[in-house]
Amino acid sequence: MTPEINVLYVDDEQQNLNSFKAAFRTRYKVFTALSVPVALEILEREEIHVLISDQRMPEISGVEFFKITKERYPHIPRVLLTGYTDIEVLAEAVNQGDIYRYITKPWDDLELHNSVLNAYDHYKANKDLQEKISELEKANAGLNRFVYSLSHELRAPIASATGILDLVKMEGRIGDSGGYWKLMDACIQKLDYYVSQTVQFYKTARFKVVQEQIHFETLVRSLIDLYRTSNDTKDITFEIAVDEAQHFYGDLFRVEIVIANLLSNAIKCQRPEEPHKKINIRIDTSVEEARILIADNGIGMEAEEATKIFDPFFKGAQPGSLGLGLFILREALEKMNGIVTVNSQRGVGSTFEVVIPNTPEQKD
């Protein structure tokens, strides 16, 4: 079944309007207008799918009329009928998107009919696209609200529960109740980790890259101080060597994500039986790049496993992990055009090397 196509034809000659209506009234719903003001009134009250106009009109040319309708109704395809050749005007109108197609007069019925059908398909495609964009905007707004709830509303009760457990620890009662306090502490820490990883993944994927000067020494030591509050790091020695002879400019938000996830991974992959747990951190900056090496003497991994660790939800030797940390790291590096490589050996440890370009336009 042929869809009903609403076509508006504007021409200052009534004979042309009558001829058009007689030729196409059984194929489309035809609207006609002898002047631009009448045409604009029809456009206001009717859903027009294809707009056709003569070029030579006394009040205004067809191209000038189309410029007006393009601003008000940008998604309606416009077909120009012209009885004379004005290549410069037509070329400018086509290049600026003012017209979808032009046809010389007297028109050929088949050519004009095919042009209307093609223009209608163009209209439908644009309309479908706008509807998809609207759906995506709604979904995006919903996702924003969801992440806001995660980062604020859900974080608040987690913080309250953590505060209560801190009081229990201060009073030395964490071992009471048959170990239930410890179990609750572990569950809350895991929930907090899952929430933070989800929010971090969202921000990494969506936030724009912002360049600024980065002080690696300060950044690394602040992250280590943060990790030092956890019992997981009490037996780990951190060895830090930072050479910042050259100022480095990059995306601080994502650089912090990269280093934080590498440190977190190195801490979690320590071997319980290792008496001298250590993590080595080496950072060097140059005119071209920052080179970051983080090595541990932890559990390490096989070569096959090393190829999968950057995949989403791959847990490897960390069954309690969400499996997003190194995936988020790789996503952050891609935004900065950085790369990461890993060299690991089971039972010996792992070394991660990250290279991030120094942003040239931001340097002194």
pLDDT of residue 89: 67
CATH number of the domain that 297 lies in? 3.30.565.10
Residue 194 forms part of a structural domain: no
Boundary (domain end) residue, out of 131, 146, 168? 131
Res 201: pLDDT: 66
Q: Which long-range contacts (CB under 8 A, 24 or more apart) does 241-244 make?
A: 241/280, 241/281, 241/282, 241/283, 242/216, 242/217, 242/281, 242/282, 242/283, 242/284, 243/283, 243/284, 243/285, 244/215, 244/216, 244/217, 244/283, 244/285
Domain assignment of residue 113, yes or no: yes
| pLDDT at site 277 | 92
**Beta strand pairing status for 277-285 and 236-243?**
parallel
On whether both 235 and 98 belong to a single domain, the answer is no
Does a structural domain hold residue 238? yes
Using the 3D structure, point to which of 131, 158, 180 is the last residue of a domain.
131
Instruction: Note whether 112 and 247 are same-domain residues.
Output: no
pLDDT at 205: 65
Q: Yes or no: say if 286 and 246 are a contact pair by the CB < 8 Å rule.
A: yes
- Judge whether 244 lies within some domain: yes
In a domain, 45, yes or no: yes
Residue 177 lies inside a defined structural domain of this protein:
no
Domain count, the chain: 2
Q: Identify the pLDDT of residue 364.
A: 46
User: By residue range, what is the domain housing residue 79?
Assistant: 6-131
Q: What does the alpha-carbon distance between residue 218 and residue 256 come to, in Å, rounded to a whole number? A: 11
pLDDT of residue 340: 94
pLDDT for res 319: 47
d(CA 126, CA 295): 53
Are both 335 and 213 inside the same structural domain?
Answer: yes
Per-residue pLDDT of the chain (364 residues; tens, 9 = 90+): 556 899 999 999 999 999 999 999 989 999 999 999 999 999 999 999 999 998 888 888 888 888 888 888 988 999 988 876 666 666 676 766 678 888 888 888 999 999 999 999 999 998 888 888 888 777 767 666 766 666 667 777 877 888 888 888 888 877 777 677 877 877 777 677 667 767 766 667 667 778 899 999 999 999 998 888 765 677 899 999 999 989 999 999 899 989 998 998 899 888 888 899 999 999 999 999 999 999 999 999 888 888 888 887 676 655 455 567 788 888 889 989 999 999 999 989 999 999 999 986 644 4
In a domain, 46, yes or no: yes
